[in-house]
Amino acid sequence: MFDRLPEDTQTLHAELLALLVAVEGERRFAYLDGSFVQKNLGGRDYVYFQYSDPGGRRRQFAIGPASPAVDAIVAAYREGRAEFEADRAPIDRLARLLRSADLPVFPHAVARVVRALADAALFHHGGTLVGTYAFVLAGNSLGVRWPAGTWTTQDVDVAAHLTLATEDLIADVPRALEQLQMGFVPVPQLDHRHASTSFKVRGQQLRLDLVTPGATNADAPIHLPNLRAAAAPIRFLSLLLDDTMLVPAIGDGATLVRIPSPARFALHKLLLSQMRSAPQQAKSQKDLHQAALLLEVLGEDRPDDLEQVARVFAASGDTVTKKVLRALAAAAKRWPEAQDGGEIVRRGLSSS
């Protein structure tokens, strides 16, 4: 069972999303919090911009020799910075209000990782948060609060296609994690010939896993040049990533991230629950529970979404249809309140 969020909380959430989308649409130099310094090199003054990365390390990059043109850049930054801080003030205020309203929020460490990925423009250009934290955000966007036991984890899962929206984009994931100075290290593969697709903090449970759509029986990691990292290939993952949306992730502040649409998430969780190996049965049951909760909400609020997505899944072939139907039967036995949503999915699967 789930709880409905109060109407005023849902309104605040919608306002926060609108503000974040507006600010994200104006990404610019002024996003960086820093200052300008001058250095005399060879008898000539040069202007540098100085800032601290997410881990607190001081960095500088050259703007150019002191000149009216550089003075204009400095003036434009200061003006843009004032506008940016003015834009962020209501965002931070809404985030505090939603935290006080007991909206589910990200733990501090997870929020730092997600913010670093957002600052690297990963979500802006098509990277997608999947897994349990996407489930949390899907609930917020649907105006519901999930039972606490369904979303407790320290795993952050991110998915991306081999080519993101722009070919020249580099969202350097390893560097973004390194700059956090939280102790992230690559997790070695059992097959030493394969590149790592996960990063973990030493001595802690916090972990980032990268995944990407893969072909049948593919298990070798796929290098994603735009992420400067490798990702684990997951069969049928495109079914999840082909329809996404932007939502606020609330931690210490608020960050705009991309997640799958709730209906896609529900059906993919059903499918995934039937694809896991025997040692992963605990995760399979968690998949089913999250899917059942989404089916319950969407069956009441967005039945057309469920039926439309079910047709898309059915078009992928009998293998997908059979696995989803088997998962629906298993979910109905444990969570009968999801039955109405399940019937809508069955109708969509059969009408394809």
Most confident of 179-188, 229-238, 319-328: 319-328
Q: Which residue has the tokens 């997790």?
A: 187
Dump pLDDT digits (tens) for 279-309.
788 889 999 999 999 999 999 999 999 999 9
- Burial string for 243-252 (b: 16+ CB within 10 Å, else e) reads bbbebbbbbe
Among residues 343, 244, 329, the alpha carbon closest in space to that of 296 is found at: 343
Dump pLDDT digits (tens) for 10-61.
999 999 999 888 877 666 555 666 778 888 887 888 888 776 655 556 777 6
Dump pLDDT digits (tens) for 149-166.
777 778 899 998 866 544
Rounded Cα–Cα distance for residues 156 and 136 (Å): 12
The length of the chain is 352
Among residues 230, 256, 254, the alpha carbon closest in space to that of 129 is found at: 256
Contact 327, 273 (CB under 8 A): yes
In three-state form (DSSP H/G/I as H, E/B as E, the rest C), the secondary structure along 202-245 is CCCCCEEEEEEEECCCCCCCEEEHHHCEEEEEEECCHHHHCCEE
Instruction: Indicate the pTM of the whole model.
Output: 0.85
Dump pLDDT digits (tens) for 215-247.
766 678 999 888 889 999 999 999 999 999 999
Query: Could you tell me which residues are beta bridge partners of residue 232?
Result: 211
Contact 231, 189 (CB under 8 A): no
DSSP state of 312: H
